[in-house]
Amino acid sequence: AQTVTQSQPEMSVQEAETVTLSCTYDTSESDYYLFWYKQPPSRQMILVIRQEAYKQQNATENRFSVNFQKAAKSFSLKISDSQLGDAAMYFCASNSGGSNYKLTFGKGTLLTVNP
């Protein structure tokens, strides 16, 4: 069974600064994907970024980037130039690829952005 662990229940960052959210996972699969989802107060889940496990290059989407350490099973999210709109709950998730795409989620990290 897959497990995803987010060890930081809450984080805060000053506007315009950088913050890193941690995530570790455990899987026996060789082919899988990793995701960061954002859930703002509206509660609509939004995909922030995805990473294919077979790719060594870290994924980047504008101000969001990941640090993917496959051997350590670590998948952290870095948010640069934080904005007030980044305040949300962030969930790390993984799937097992292949023919089964169900996602396993971590418990989330609540990010506060201070003006």
Name the residues that contact other proteins, by CB under 8 A.
Answer: 6, 9, 33, 35, 42-45, 47, 50, 52, 91, 93, 95, 97, 99-108
| 32 torsion bin: left (phi>0), alpha (psi -120 to 50), beta (else) | beta
Q: Name which of 75, 36, 37 is nearest 53 in CA terms.
A: 75
Task: Report the residue number, 28 or 100, with the smaller CB distance to other proteins.
Answer: 100
Output Rg (C-alpha) for the chain, integer angstroms: 14
Task: Report the residue number, 5 or 114, with the smaller CB distance to other proteins.
Answer: 5
CB of 94 to other proteins, least distance (A): 10
